[in-house]
Amino acid sequence: MRLVVVSNRVTIPDRHEKATAGGLAVALREALEKHGGLWFGWSGVVGAARQVREMQRGNVTYAVTDLSEAERESYYLGFSNRALWPIMHYRLGLTEFQRDDYMGYLGVNRRFARELSAMLRPDDVIWIHDYHLIPLAAELRRRGVTNRIGYFHHIPWPSADTLTALPFSATLVRTLAAYDLVGMQTAPDVRNLVDCLVTMCGAVSDGRRVRLGVRETAVQAFPIGIDVEAFRRLASASVRQAATPLRATRESLGERKLVIGVDRLDYSKGIVQRLEAFGQFLRSHPDERGRVGLLQIAPPSRSAVPEYAELDRMSDEVAGRLNAQLGEFDWTPIRVVKKAYSRTALAGFYRRAQVGLVTPMRDGMNLVAKEYVAAQNPADPGVLVLSRFAGAAQQLSEALIVNPYDTHEVAEAIRTALAMPKSERIRRFELLYGAIENSGIHWWTQRYLDALTGSRAPDEAAELPPKAKAPPKRGSRKTDPAGPERGEGTGRAPGGARKRSAASDDGSHLTLVR
């Protein structure tokens, strides 16, 4: 079999084979290398050239196509990011539907199908990613493609009640029946999608398989993970490096504690609400003033969409107001940094922070939550505060789970996290680490492909990860002892086992460019 991956954006690795992507892109690339493969999608370039360009890297072909300005406007900015993204995140008020955008979305999917089908071989297994490309399999089937085709949906799937507000939603949902396997992040997403297929399209389902007309589609949850070991090693390494932002942060913070937020600047991530919650925490607990700071790292994304430009302005405004109200001449409570950092620097920031504040209003999974856990020092770990509306909350129940709409609740969770005794922090960390380690990115890729290729029945393949190994033993912490000064970077996991790392410091920030 040859693997064909399709995603909205394709980033071609540079000639020096230096990785230029986050965990998901690296894992997909590895799967492509294992089977030999083709990665197809938008080059990221807007221009007149409409020919597919192919580049060979080892046994993987990267095939990219440009979008015209009109296609970018309608397919990408319009229907994908002004209609589908908000409605899938339950933000009906922000959902803007334009018929022309929808037509442009269908048009690009049709064109992708035409270009891709010309490159397909009979033994190809096709794996399509994300909401930009929902109708792609239906368009491929229309062209006579009979290969196995899977889809993975990286963002939440809303209830039928919500989705029906989107014009043509039933037509769009129906196109999912063209897939052999549809993967979702969580069990609630699976339930919502199956319900949509049944109530909006008249499908018949046993909850896991959906029959619509002559086609049968498996719908399963495959919670995405990270390369835990690789990220842990990056975090250890970052502590040893001399000129890292981490070192500068340590110098500028001194003994002060650090709360960290890391997100694309996106309204689904709850950044403004998080800043307000931190302000509330300082107002409710004046004794904490001057002793702790919030570092919010938020590189802008999709700036051409007005809601994102507005969020950019609002986050500056709220941080400025809170700093003016609560700051002192020698202490700034909130720092908002709008740039992307290397993975090593990011891992170092996570490790330095006593609290990871991950409070999206809705999120398919949220990999930052998992990265924060992976980066902790097992002997003196920080505490994860996590929104109940992140898919990750389904797995990471030992985090402090909060409702991000409740500013007071988040504020109190920050207080609880900062005051948590070390023994309790270690207990929670060990359980969280076990959870992410047992459902890492390689597990995810393999399980999905096993289910898609039929080498394992979909139900079985999507079962929960192997039971968490026994939590790392306390004694093993001497392999990764407390504090950067005390023997960081032994190359060992909390459990003490030496493992191979697949990571490198790649300087990029997003998993798949959105």
Catalytic residues, which ones?
154, 363
Is the Cβ of residue 230 or residue 365 nearer to ligand ADQ in the bound state? 365
Q: Are 26 and 512 in contact (CB under 8 A)?
A: no
Residue 57's beta-bridge partner residues? 60
Instruction: Answer yes or no whether residue 357 interacts with ligand ADQ by CB under 6 A.
Output: no
Instruction: Answer yes or no whether residue 509 interacts with ligand ADQ by CB under 6 A.
Output: yes
Determine which residue in the list 363, 398, 412, 488 makes contact with ligand ADQ, applying CB under 6 A: 363
Q: Are 356 and 383 in contact (CB under 8 A)?
A: yes
CB of 403 to ligand ADQ, least distance (A): 18
Determine which residue in the list 223, 364, 378, 484 makes contact with ligand ADQ, applying CB under 6 A: 364
Is the Cβ of residue 293 or residue 495 nearer to ligand ADQ in the bound state? 293
Is the Cβ of residue 37 or residue 391 nearer to ligand ADQ in the bound state? 391
Instruction: Answer yes or no whether residue 366 interacts with ligand ADQ by CB under 6 A.
Output: yes
Distance from C-alpha of 492 to C-alpha of 377, rounded to nearest angstrom: 12
Part of the chain binding ligand ADQ (CB under 6 A), chosen from 49-57, 108-116, 173-181, 504-512 = 504-512
Task: Read off φ and ψ for residue 15, nearest 5 degrees.
Answer: -65, -25
CB of 107 to ligand ADQ, least distance (A): 25
Instruction: Decide the pairing of beta strands 209-212 and 181-184.
Output: unpaired
CB of 367 to ligand ADQ, least distance (A): 4
Q: What are the angstrom distances between the C-alpha of 390 and each of 156, 188, 381, 403?
A: 9, 11, 21, 10
Kindly give the interhelix angle for 422-437 and 367-374, rounded to the nearest 10 degrees. 120
Part of the chain binding ligand ADQ (CB under 6 A), chosen from 172-180, 282-290, 438-446, 506-514 = 506-514
Part of the chain binding ligand ADQ (CB under 6 A), chosen from 76-84, 260-268, 284-292, 431-439 = 260-268
Instruction: Answer yes or no whether residue 154 interacts with ligand ADQ by CB under 6 A.
Output: yes
Is the Cβ of residue 102 or residue 341 nearer to ligand ADQ in the bound state? 341
Determine which residue in the list 134, 262, 384, 410 makes contact with ligand ADQ, applying CB under 6 A: 262
Distance from C-alpha of 258 to C-alpha of 375, rounded to nearest angstrom: 15
Distance from C-alpha of 23 to C-alpha of 40, rounded to nearest angstrom: 18
Q: Can you read off the two tokens belonging to residue 21?
A: 């992507």
215-234 footprint of ligand ADQ as x/- string (CB under 6 A): ---------x----------
Instruction: Decide the pairing of beta strands 292-297 and 334-337.
Output: parallel
Is the Cβ of residue 24 or residue 201 nearer to ligand ADQ in the bound state? 24
Task: Read off φ and ψ for residue 352, nearest 5 degrees.
Answer: -75, -25
CB of 247 to ligand ADQ, least distance (A): 17
Task: Read off φ and ψ for residue 153, nearest 5 degrees.
Answer: -105, 110
Q: Are 139 and 110 in contact (CB under 8 A)?
A: yes
Determine which residue in the list 60, 368, 386, 402 makes contact with ligand ADQ, applying CB under 6 A: 368
Is the Cβ of residue 22 or residue 293 nearer to ligand ADQ in the bound state? 22
Q: Select the residue whose beta carbon is closest to ligand ADQ and give its number.
A: 509
Part of the chain binding ligand ADQ (CB under 6 A), chosen from 118-126, 188-196, 312-320, 359-367 = 359-367
Residue 335's beta-bridge partner residues? 295
Distance from C-alpha of 291 to C-alpha of 263, rounded to nearest angstrom: 24
Part of the chain binding ligand ADQ (CB under 6 A), chosen from 38-46, 360-368, 396-404, 457-465 = 360-368
295-314 footprint of ligand ADQ as x/- string (CB under 6 A): --x-x---------------
Distance from C-alpha of 25 to C-alpha of 401, rounded to nearest angstrom: 29
Residue 140, phi-psi category: left (phi > 0), alpha (psi -120 to 50), beta (remainder)? alpha
Instruction: Answer yes or no whether residue 246 interacts with ligand ADQ by CB under 6 A.
Output: no
Q: Can you read off the two tokens belonging to residue 373?
A: 């856990």
DSSP string covering 171-236: HHHHGGGG-SEEEESSHHHHHHHHHHHHHHH--EESSSEEEETTEEEEEEE------HHHHHHHHH
CB of 131 to ligand ADQ, least distance (A): 10
Determine which residue in the list 145, 193, 346, 435 makes contact with ligand ADQ, applying CB under 6 A: 346
Instruction: Decide the pairing of beta strands 181-184 and 215-221.
Output: parallel
Instruction: Answer yes or no whether residue 22 interacts with ligand ADQ by CB under 6 A.
Output: yes
Q: How many CB atoms lie within 10 A of CB 374?
A: 29
CB of 329 to ligand ADQ, least distance (A): 29
Per CB under 6 A, residues contacting ligand ADQ are 22, 24, 154-155, 224, 262-264, 297, 299, 340-341, 346, 363-368, 371, 509-511, 514
